[in-house]
Structure 1
Amino acid sequence: MATAGLPWWRNRRLIPWLVQAGVGLAVLVLVAFLVTNLVRNLTAAGLLLSWSWLDNPAGFDIAETWLPFDAGLPYWRGLLAGLVNTLRVVVLGLVGSTLLGTLAGTASFSGNALLRSLARVYVEVIRNVPLLLQLVFWYFVVFLQLPNGSAAIQIPGLVLAKSGLYLGQPELVNGVWQASMRVSVEFGALLTGLVVYTGAFIAEVVRGGVAAVPAGQWEAARSLGFSPLQTLRSIVLPQALRAIVPGLNSQYISLAKNSSLAVACGYTDLYSVAETTLNQTGRAVEVVLILLGSYLVIDLTISALMNGLNQLVQLKER
């Protein structure tokens, strides 16, 4: 038991601590070297880290934002408006993709062969086409080809036109559609692309979760007189959630990160505003740090919420 007589290099308790201390010291030295080199280069270029530029007038406008903004407001307000736009599409995208993915995933177990086939074709096609190409398709091929004026697609409470999507009670005034709520085609194309793309992956997560429920649960429900829809809604899905929620977490985080492709649709999100800010100020390091921090906080928030939901749906030992 005694280790007093052993040399230090044969002490099995001491060696792991020495190795960890050595690795930790090496990492600290490397980080210190990189930071010192960065500061030296920024100082030589006259670009030492500074945040005072955030209070300068931005000098550019944002076409669509829930947060009022104009060219005379400071850069930080523009970045905040871009963040609001990003959160807007992320939140709506999470809701829409979850609904679409759940419908497509459960359709794989439908007794209707046509419905099952359509669900599989949707999943296989969408998952194997790059998201960027899909966004370009929805924006240039679909939304920008919508008719305008009286030729616009008119549905009760909704008008689809090249100038935008009008909700509420749309009316045509002097050839221009007006409504209490208008959504730009840029936002519509981005949201549609994200929902359709992420929904295909969520459909596979849902299908796998439902398939993990023992077949005996379906048989027991059938013997009790439950319809297939009642069985799925009341018996199978509640049990499948334990397998579905962990997979949803990664898909939700992917959707939040994929929202940065909004530039393909011309939608002004956080990344777009940050890019304009970088071009005007030259503050590459600060702008990149803001982008990294913003997306990190968004993803960590989603992960924390989903981890909490995962704990709620897990079986509790009694």
Structure 2
Amino acid sequence: MRKTRRRRLSWSDPGTRSLIYQALVLGLVGLCAWYLVSNTLHNLSVRNISTGFGFLRREAGFAIGESVIDYTPADTYGRAIWVGILNTLRVSVLGIVLATLLGTLLGIARLSRNWLVSRVANAYIEVMRNVPLLLQLFFWYAIITEVMPGPRQALHPVAGVFISNRGLKLPSLQGDALDWILAGLGVAIVLAMLIAHWARKRQDATGQVFPLGRVALGLLLVCPAAAWLFSGAPLSLNMPELRGFNFVGGVTLTPEFAALLAGLVIYTSAFVAEVVRSGIQSVGRGQWEAAGSLGLSRARMLRLVILPQALRVIVPPMTSQYLNLTKNSSLAVAIGYPDIVSVVNTTLNQTGQAIEGILIIMAAYLTVSLSISLFMNWYNRRIALVER
């Protein structure tokens, strides 16, 4: 049994020197942090500016245009900030899903054999990713508020849908059965994930392809309907209708939310398209030829052979695009959408707690960004090639 050699505490030992250097750097960083914190607290004390997060329990006293949860000006600053966080999450999650779908279609279209489709996709990508996002937000907000007609002359493409300069009005469901329907939807998603895992193992073992798409779609339709029927709870359709100078009933997508979502999706999808295109082109030509020799159509070649291999190249840069979309949502303050930045700005203007407000914004974006990174890194490890 070989004995471990005891490290000598000598300057000539590289390991000892590295430990000393690391300790010195850590000490310098700690000293700088202590100086900045103590100096800030001293300056705040001299100017009689209160510190701490106690203001979060005080009454906010300002209204928020739209919120996912119930909110009134009589609620606390803490609840107001939570509303801003949920508004940011809502537009970010929807933006990520829509930008991924649109960007994937554009990336595939750019590689199309059809000359017109390829050139149109290329023109879209080059124009949209080279126009600053802020200008695009202003453009879409102006289109909605200035070009669209008023409520009395609103566009009415289908029953219950109205498009005007007040936003998009849609029918909504209301009643106690909504909770049961959401529970059924959650059960359907879990079942679809379990079936997908089983189908993947079955395909690896037998080579037989399971119709997962049709089964998952059936579950998403059947499970919520079954939960509603089982509950016996009331459910009604609330249709929007014009009363006076505006619509009542239904659900509203405000001009601010619609403009922000459109800008984020259109801008980010151009970058996603380039990521998808490069991922597809990274797969060797022999894979196309091998799939074609099996008699697969081009669509099935993409879905079953090319894209699964391209994902290993697509996922890492796609993570950066998701993070950029989430952080770019902070530009919502320019068009009046009440996201976390807008709500915290109003809060710190009323309370004077500027440092605490900035820390809250930083913590919110850091938490969301790390969550996205952790999920995407897990997914990237899951699809990585495993050497046998």
TM-score with structure 2 setting the length: 0.77
Q: What does 1:6-85 correspond to in 2, within 5 Å?
A: 8-85=10-87
SS at 2:43 equivalent: helix
Structure 2 residues without counterparts, runs of 5 or longer: 172-238
Out of 222, 226, 232, the residue aligned to residue 302 of structure 2 is 232
* Deviation sequence 1:218-268 (CA, Å, 0-9, x none): 112222222222211221111111111111100000111000000122111
CA contact (8 A) 1:143 1:189 kept: no
Residues in 2 aligned to 1:58 and 1:95: alpha-carbon distance in whole angstroms: 33
Residue 121 (structure 1) shift: 0.7
Letter in 2 for 1:140: A
CA contact (8 A) 1:39 1:48 kept: no
Out of 87, 90, 102, the residue aligned to residue 89 of structure 2 is 87
Q: Which residue is 1:117 aligned to?
A: 119
Residues in 1 aligned to 2:9 and 2:259: alpha-carbon distance in whole angstroms: 69
Residues in 1 aligned to 2:346 and 2:326: alpha-carbon distance in whole angstroms: 21
- Change over 3 Å in CA distance of 1:7–1:25 after alignment to 2: closer
* Deviation sequence 1:182-229 (CA, Å, 0-9, x none): 110110000000000111111111001001111111112222222222
The runs of 4+ residues in structure 1 deviating greater than 4 Å are: none
Residues in 2 aligned to 1:143 and 1:312: alpha-carbon distance in whole angstroms: 45
Q: Which residue is 1:309 aligned to?
A: 379
Structure 1 residues without counterparts, runs of 5 or longer: none
1:242 aligns with 2:304: no
Letter in 1 for 2:306: V
CA-based RMSD = 1.8
TM-score with structure 1 setting the length: 0.94
SS at 2:14 equivalent: coil
Residue 76 (structure 1) shift: 0.5
Identity fraction in percent = 45
Residues in 2 aligned to 1:53 and 1:61: alpha-carbon distance in whole angstroms: 17
Residue 159 (structure 1) shift: 2.3
Letter in 2 for 1:161: S
CA contact (8 A) 2:145 2:166 kept: no
Q: Which residue is 2:168 aligned to?
A: 165
Moved more, 302-311 or 160-169: 160-169
Residue 174 (structure 1) shift: 4.6
- Change over 3 Å in CA distance of 1:179–1:240 after alignment to 2: farther
CA contact (8 A) 1:167 1:180 kept: yes
Residue 154 (structure 1) shift: 2.2
Residues in 1 aligned to 2:269 and 2:342: alpha-carbon distance in whole angstroms: 25
Residues in 2 aligned to 1:260 and 1:30: alpha-carbon distance in whole angstroms: 30
Aligned residues: 315
Residue 149 (structure 1) shift: 3.2
Point out which structure has higher relative CO (alpha carbons under 8 A, 6+ apart). 2
Residue 150 (structure 1) shift: 4.7
Out of 99, 102, 110, the residue aligned to residue 108 of structure 1 is 110
